[in-house]
Amino acid sequence: METTSPVKEKKSKKKSRKSDAGKQDSDFVLKPTGDVVNDDSWPLLLKNFSKLNVRCNHFTPLPNGCSPYKRDINEYVKSGFINLDKPSNPSSHEVV
């Protein structure tokens, strides 16, 4: 009977993690719109944009992972690299 209780606890932890992840990513969801676009004043290459054949007009976020803005610093450290902004000037060619 002792082996069944840890398995149940693990399942409940996974469910709670999934529900927490859904709450965090709700801020970065694009909502679909059914509005018709008025393309009369658009440039020539974009004329008749509303007549294009579009399969779907909505964005479906992936159920796993998270947005970079919502990601914790611990996740970046686990992955092994952190991208830092490099100052724009001077470059190595300008220094020489």
Residue 56 lies in a domain: yes
Give pTM, 2 decimals.
0.24
CB 66 within 8 A of CB 25: yes
Residue 52 lies in a domain: yes
Q: In this model, does residue 76 exceed pLDDT 60?
A: yes
Residue 14 lies in a domain: no
Residue 65 lies in a domain: yes
What local confidence, expressed as pLDDT, does residue 94 receive?
Answer: 67
| Domain count within the chain | 1
CB 68 within 8 A of CB 54: no
CB 39 within 8 A of CB 49: yes
- Domain of 74? 27-84
The rounded radius of gyration (Å) of the Cα atoms in the chain is: 24
CB 20 within 8 A of CB 70: no
pLDDT range class, residue 13, cuts 50, 70, 90: low
Handedness of CA 60, 12, 76, 70 (dihedral sign): positive
Chain segment 14-53, per-residue pLDDT in tens:
555 555 555 554 566 666 666 777 888 888 887 877 777 7
Residue 22 lies in a domain: no
What local confidence, expressed as pLDDT, does residue 12 receive?
Answer: 52
Residue 59 lies in a domain: yes
Helix (H, G, I), strand (E, B) or coil at 79: helix
